[in-house]
Amino acid sequence: MKIRNLSLENPVFLAPMAEVNDIAFRVLCTRAGAGLAYTGMINPLARQKLALDDRPAIQLFCISPKGVAEFIQKHERQAALFDFNLGCPSRVAKKCGFGAFMHHRLGAIEEILKTMRHSTDKPVTVKLRKSAQTLEILRMAEKYCDAIGIHPRTEQQGYSGEPDMAFALKLKKKTKLPVIYSGNVNGANANALLKSFDFLMIGRSAMGHPEVFAEWQGKQASNAGFGFGDYLKLAMKYRIPLKQVRLQAIHFTSGREGAKEMRIGLMEAKTLDEIRGLAGFSGRLRARV
């Protein structure tokens, strides 16, 4: 099971998510059984220090090839692959013209993909949305990429409404590249989707629930070591900022007993000790209820 020269243990990945996929969360998801974990979106011109000890798939967003080659050369040894984001539907993406709002800029897309391809022997992939230009971008990607990702919602849909499965299957039939499907994937439907696609990405279903990757494989998640207490240990190890830890803690309350009360306390927490000290937090967050 490979994408170019990258060997993978299984075909179900942690999808790239902005403000979610810090290194501590990625480690939990791979520990739970994700075949690959993506970073959130990274601008190649940004100067922030990146935590890449887990050798993730690095997702780039940009509107020109400026800085792309230098970024890849700097981080190539720490990357599993490099992915170009043409799928983000956020307001920031719309304002700045990247992600899903770049589909019509075919010349710029090709220059970026060409630069990525010429800068690394690692796999290069691109994540697409449904648009009038998707099939044209696919033809372009076949010249430079080793796989494509498809989230078959339009930029107007964002993350709401039903993904257009017929469109995703049409895309799959039109290419020999491996196709990574994204859109409402969870542990319950993953095996059925793998009958149609080469790889899958689990996104929102994994937020606060790294155990979804273990559950997909039929493993018992309760004692596997990827609850919030385990996240907190990793967060301290990697010095994750308090704001990010608080955000992750709120995600981990999703679907849990007493979630509303926990979130109120978490929003007011000012230190890691306060988060750790919330009554019953660690015990109640280790498993689904």
Query: 50-54, 109-113, 126-130, 227-231: which range is least confident on average?
Result: 227-231
Residues recorded for the chain: 289
- Token pair 């306390």 is found at 265
pLDDT for 190 equals: 95
Average pLDDT over residues 36-43: 96
Sign of the Cα torsion 76, 80, 82, 85 reads negative
CA distance 66 to 185: 34
Q: Average pLDDT over the chain, rounded to whole?
A: 90
Q: Are 154 and 123 in contact (CB under 8 A)?
A: no
Q: Specify the higher pLDDT residue, 230 or 80.
A: 80
CA distance 37 to 259: 27
Q: What percent of the chain has pLDDT over 70?
A: 92
Instruction: List alpha helices for 177-227, DSSP H.
Output: 190-193, 212-216
pLDDT digits (tens, 9 = 90+) for 148-192: 999 999 989 988 889 999 999 999 999 999 999 999 999 999 999
Average pLDDT over residues 142-148: 98
- Label residue 104 by pLDDT band (50, 70, 90): very high
pLDDT for 41 equals: 95
pLDDT for 256 equals: 66
What is the rounded end-to-end Cα distance, in angstroms, of the chain? 35
- Label residue 77 by pLDDT band (50, 70, 90): very high
CA distance 37 to 33: 10
pLDDT digits (tens, 9 = 90+) for 225-262: 888 889 989 999 999 999 899 899 888 887 666 667 67
pLDDT for 254 equals: 74
Listed in sequence order, the residues at least 6 apart from 165 whose beta carbon sits closer than 8 Å to its beta carbon are 152
Query: 147-151, 211-215, 216-220, 280-284: which range is least confident on average?
Result: 280-284
Q: Specify the higher pLDDT residue, 142 or 229.
A: 142
Verdict on whether the full-model pTM lies above 0.75? yes
Query: 11-20, 89-98, 131-140: which range is least confident on average?
Result: 89-98
pLDDT for 286 equals: 38
pLDDT for 278 equals: 63
Listed in sequence order, the residues at least 6 apart from 173 whose beta carbon sits closer than 8 Å to its beta carbon are none
pLDDT for 289 equals: 26
pLDDT for 161 equals: 86
194: three-class secondary structure by DSSP: coil
